[in-house]
């Protein structure tokens, strides 16, 4: 048979790694060109990866939750005639231990391969990571069918390569398991031979190892010979994830690996905070007229079906203020020692998602009408909440708005999004006593906070920009007069 390998592609621009969130296929499944085989998270985006050829899944090289470098092989597919696999595997089973891995892992041909955008093809022959010299019966489980050949255990102890099909033989041989599962068992101190498998063909899965670890710390669950155990492992695969909480003394602390969105956010914030000298200014003002305009626009037939809210008018106010203060819409090029003035506005909107904070942006927001801006804003937020924001949607932003007011917060001191010069934090809009026309009345009041890069925005420019945003929102007719 012919085995072709699919590598982790660079689905963005210059990405170096991605975390495998979910596999949609398993060994033995048939796949077609363009079929989505897994979902990965990279650069704060969840992306579905299609495979560029037809065949039968031979092996999944990484488990879910593992971070993989771009260019590493993540899945292998058998593209040759299906009837070749059993013959080849059967011939290799009684052979010596050394050639067994080679029989299960033939190299891909040097023929041209279809590729994805950002995914290159290496002209060199494909290579797999070296395995241990000791025989691994798990190789037989990856023969394209996911089932080990039922060969009897040899009487002579000098021939350890004969596979053991099922653990019912009383541990006469090594358990069937993939390398990542073996490593997990080793890290947890679990003997694979004592684990009751639930995978196809008697293969020990990751969940089986976690279940065994949970049983090891629960006195009443230490009997692996109970026949109901495999059913329990299948019915409650999520239970092992809670096992560490039951370990005496370990509940005082929980360690969470830094990866995915959190890792990217941390790197970006540290880089920004310690690269750009931040200055934050605040302004508190009356937005009662803006709130009235929001209600009027909701009743406008021309805007029927569109989402009209204060954030929409705040975004429009920012665009008007940029038109009056264009030097704010710029970036600092450290390498060239230049200030790059942007003649377009890609307006970023910070969004809290289940995977963490992301900042997608509305491309060419300056050229959009109020209705178009509303549609773009609604689509951006909906896509972010679904976890479907693409890396392209988060690149090349020029200025950002973060709405902390939705959490009831008055304001904050936001950190700049890397590559941008300013970020506006919008506080909660509340009814407060306010002097209006010489009398104290209940008015809608909010506070804005503007953080900016002091290398290219002086205090005067930053203050004028913030004051203009407030002026538009205090008297929204300026959306017309200043446009």
- Could you give the count of Cα atoms lying within 13 Å of 345 in the half-sphere of its Cβ? 27
Q: Is 454 a catalytic residue?
A: yes
Contacts of 454 (CB under 8 A, 6+ apart): 276, 277, 278, 279
Instruction: Return the SS3 of 403.
Output: strand
Would you say 431 and 288 are in contact if contact means Cβ atoms under 8 Å apart? no
Q: Kindly state the tokens that stand for 116.
A: 């994805």
Would you say 41 and 261 are in contact if contact means Cβ atoms under 8 Å apart? yes
Helix and strand counts by DSSP (H, E) for the chain? 11, 21
Q: Kindly state the tokens that stand for 228.
A: 């109901």
**What CA–CA distance (Å, rounded) separates 264 from 269?**
9
Would you say 356 and 389 are in contact if contact means Cβ atoms under 8 Å apart? no
User: Within 10 Å of residue 436's Cβ, how many Cβ atoms?
Assistant: 12
Residue tagged active-site, from 396, 444, 454, 475: 454
Instruction: Return the SS3 of 77.
Output: strand
Q: What is the dihedral of CA 55, 61, 66, 72, to 10 degrees?
A: -90
Q: What Cα–Cα distance (Å) separates residue 280 from each residue in 266, 375, 417, 421, 463? A: 20, 31, 14, 12, 10
Would you say 407 and 384 are in contact if contact means Cβ atoms under 8 Å apart? no
Q: What Cα–Cα distance (Å) separates residue 269 from each residue in 104, 136, 168, 447? A: 46, 45, 54, 23
> Where in the sequence numbering do the catalytic residues fall?
454
């Amino acid at each position: 048979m012919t085995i072709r390998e699919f590598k982790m592609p660079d689905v963005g621009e210059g990405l170096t790694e991605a975390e495998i969130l979910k596999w949609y296929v398993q060994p033995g499944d048939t796949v077609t060109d363009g079929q989505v085989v897994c979902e990965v998270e990279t650069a704060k985006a969840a992306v579905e990866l299609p495979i560029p050829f037809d065949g039968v899944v031979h092996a999944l090289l990484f488990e879910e939750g593992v971070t993989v470098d771009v260019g590493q092989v993540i899945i292998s597919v058998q593209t040759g005639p299906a009837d070749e696999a059993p013959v080849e595997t059967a011939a290799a089973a009684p052979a010596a231990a050394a050639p067994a891995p080679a029989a299960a892992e033939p190299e891909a041909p040097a023929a041209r391969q279809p590729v994805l955008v950002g995914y290159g093809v290496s002209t060199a022959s494909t290579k797999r990571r070296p395995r241990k010299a000791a025989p691994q019966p798990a190789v037989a489980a990856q023969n394209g069918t996911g089932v080990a050949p039922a060969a009897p255990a040899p009487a002579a102890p000098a021939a350890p390569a004969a596979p053991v099909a099922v653990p019912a033989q009383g541990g006469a041989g090594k358990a069937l398991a993939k390398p990542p599962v073996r490593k997990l068992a080793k890290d947890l101190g679990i003997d694979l031979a004592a684990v009751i498998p639930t995978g196809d063909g008697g293969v020990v899965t990751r969940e089986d190892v976690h279940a065994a670890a949970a049983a090891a710390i629960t006195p009443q669950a230490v009997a692996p010979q109970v026949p109901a155990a495999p059913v329990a492992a299948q019915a409650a695969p999520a239970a092992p994830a809670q096992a560490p909480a039951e370990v005496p003394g370990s509940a005082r602390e929980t360690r969470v690996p830094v990866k995915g969105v959190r890792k990217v956010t941390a790197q970006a914030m540290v880089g920004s905070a310690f690269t750009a000298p931040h200055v934050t200014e605040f302004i508190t003002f009356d937005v009662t007229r803006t709130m009235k305009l929001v209600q009027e626009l909701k009743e406008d037939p021309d805007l029927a079906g569109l989402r009209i809210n204060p954030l929409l008018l705040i975004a429009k106010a920012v665009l008007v203020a940029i038109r009056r203060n264009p030097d704010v819409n710029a970036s600092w090029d450290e390498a060239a020692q230049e200030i790059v003035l942007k003649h377009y506005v890609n307006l970023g909107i910070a969004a809290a998602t289940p995977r963490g904070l992301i900042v997608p942006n509305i491309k060419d927001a300056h050229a959009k009408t109020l209705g178009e801006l509303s549609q773009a804003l609604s689509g951006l937020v909906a896509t972010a909440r679904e976890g479907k924001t693409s890396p392209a949607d988060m690149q090349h932003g020029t200025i950002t708005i973060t709405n902390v007011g939705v959490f009831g917060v008055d304001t904050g001191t936001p950190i700049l999004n890397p590559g941008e010069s300013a970020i506006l934090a919008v506080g909660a809009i509340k009814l407060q006593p306010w002097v209006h026309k010489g009398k104290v009345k209940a008015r809608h009041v909010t506070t804005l906070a503007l953080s900016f890069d002091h290398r290219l925005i002086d205090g005067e420019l930053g203050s004028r920009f913030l004051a203009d945003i407030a002026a538009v929102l205090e008297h929204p007719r300026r959306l017309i007069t200043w446009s």
